Amino acid sequence: MLSQFSYQRAASIKEAAEAASRPDVRILAGGTDLLGCLRNQVLQANRLVSLNGLSALKGIRQGPGGGLRLGALTTLTEIAEHRQILDSYSVLAQAAASVGSPQLRNQGTLGGNLCQRPRCWYFRGDFKCRRKGGDTCFAEGGDSQLHCIFGGASCYMVHPSDTAPALVALDAKVSITGRRGTRLVPLSSFFVLPADSLVKETVLQPGEIVTEILLDPPQPGARSAYRKVRERGAFDFALAGAAIVVAMAEGKVRTARVVLSGVAPVPWRSTDAEKTIIGKPLDAAVAVAAAAAAVKGASPLADNGYKVPLVRGILEETLTALAA
């Protein structure tokens, strides 16, 4: 049951940013993540500031030179069904289509998907973990089957977003507005590791709001895909996944981005895997080598060792499929 809060429908981004700079205020977009957190007392709020009156944050617009500008309030359904995204940024369309359920995609927004809180069952449950001001990461001594194999320290959450790895793979930028103005951050620098913060998952400062996601024009010869492995077909986050964007030239990989989901507290870019494929033809042998490179340095916990072969399997399969 939700506790009391007051409600404010922001009339402008500036007003929303002003209001949201207070620690007891939360920004409401689609609500699918926030209301769950409030219901289970994971978060508290005295006031919700709704962005839903701000049409400037809605919809998909053409960017300079053939790119796209995705308003933060664009729903995941709109992303998944947008003709140009399906054609030119299929990794993103596939990632958006893999989120939750049709209803959650109709309601959930792209901005919200990037800013959602961890799905760790200890964080969401009635456990006072480090990320909620406690002194324990319950995954360390508890059940860690869904936790991270990369980037963990003091907290072993995985980042739950499917669209984030896709956007990192597309080298997207995120436009952030706060009281002091607007800044543009590459999505690859948007998320923070537990080593940098145990209370937040992004670089957003109090009062800052994600307003837009910017996609560069698609590279010539680009191919992309998102592959997600989960326990059931809907209502599920990735056990592991991979967002891959490659640009081919003369039968060889010219540029590549390989970003993993479900394995680290942030979308996990594997530059080792990228290096393995760049300059080579995309074939089965290269896929196997890249997959092996991607899991180097993985440090599984007690229950999630399976994620190492899983990542390998996903990359072998997806890179091979992209070659076809």
Partner 1 sequence: MPETTAKPWGETKFVGKPIPRVDGYERVSGTAEYPSDVVLPNMLHAAILRCPHGQAQVKRVDLAKAREMPGVRAVLSDADKEAQIPWYAPPGSPGSTGSPTASRLFDPHCRFEGEEIAAVAAETPQQAWDAVRAIRAEYNVLPSVVDMEEALKPGAPAVQESGNRWGAPRETKRGDVAQGFAEADVVLEETYRTSCEIHTPSEIHGSVVRWDGDHLTVWDTNQGPFGIQAPLAAAMSLPLSKVRVISHYMGGGFGSKLNLGKYTVIAAVLARKTGRPVRLFLTREESFRAVGNRPAHIMKLKAGVKKDGTLTALQLTGLGEVGAYPAGTSVGYQVGDLYRCPNVLISESQAFINAGPNRAFRAPGFPQCSWALEQMMDALAEKIGMDPVEFRIKNYSAVCQMQQNKPYTSAGLRECLTEGARAFNWKDARLRSKGSGPWVRGVGVAAGMWGSQSGPPSTVRVSLYPDGSASLNMGAADLGTGTKTVMALVVAEELGVPLDRIQIENADTGTTEFTRPSGGSKTVFADSPAVRSAALEVKARVLEMAAAQLKLPVTDLAFQEGAIVAQGGTRKLAVRELTQLRAQQVVVGVGVRGPDPVDKVVRPFVAQFAEVEVNIRTGETRVLRLVAAHDSGRVMDLLTYRSQVIGGLTMGIGFALTERRIMDAVTGKMANANCHDYKIPTAKDVPADKTVIPIDLHDTECNTTGTKGIGEPATIPTAAAIANAFYHATGIRITAAPITPANVLTLLEERRKRG
Partner 2 sequence: MRKSIRERESRTGLSRRRFFNSVASGAAEAAILTVPGAVAAEAAVGQAADGNMVKTVLDINGRSHSLSVEPRWTLLYVLRDRLGLMGTKASCERGECGACTVLIDGAARYACMTLAVEATGAEITTVEGLMRGEELGPVQQAFVEEDAFQCGHCTSGQVVSVEALLRKTPQPSIEQIREGVSGNVCRCGAYANIFRAVQKAAELRKGGR
Binding residues (CB under 8 A) for partner 1: these are 1-4, 40-41, 101, 119, 121-122, 124-127, 138, 141-143, 145, 229, 231-236, 239, 303-306, 309-310, 312-314, 316-317
- The least CB distance from residue 29 to partner 2, in Å, is 10
What CA–CA distances, in Å, run from 310 to 162, 196, 269? Answer: 17, 27, 16
Instruction: Choose from partner 2, partner 1, none: what does 31 bind? Cβ within 5-8 Å by kind.
Output: partner 2
Rank residues 121 and 182 by Cβ distance to partner 2 and give the closer one: 121
Q: Does 41 bind partner 2 (CB under 8 A)?
A: no
Rank residues 102 and 186 by Cβ distance to partner 2 and give the closer one: 102
Of residues 221, 227, 223, the one with CA closest to residue 322? 223
Residue type, 298: A
Q: Which residues contact 35 (CB under 8 A, 6 or more apart)?
A: 2
Residue type, 270: S
- Distance between CA atoms of 169 and 315, rounded to whole angstroms? 14
Q: Which of 29-37, 190-198, 207-215, 316-324 is the region at the interface with partner 2 (rule: CB under 8 A)?
A: 29-37
Beta bridge partners of 244: 225, 258
List the interface residues with partner 2, window 186-245 (CB under 8 A).
233-235
- The least CB distance from residue 233 to partner 1, in Å, is 3
Quick check: 279 and 263 in contact, CB under 8 A?
no
Residue type, 246: V
Give the footprint of partner 2 on this chain (CB under 8 A). Answer: 2-9, 11, 28, 31-32, 35-36, 39-40, 46-48, 50, 52-53, 77, 100-104, 106-107, 233-235
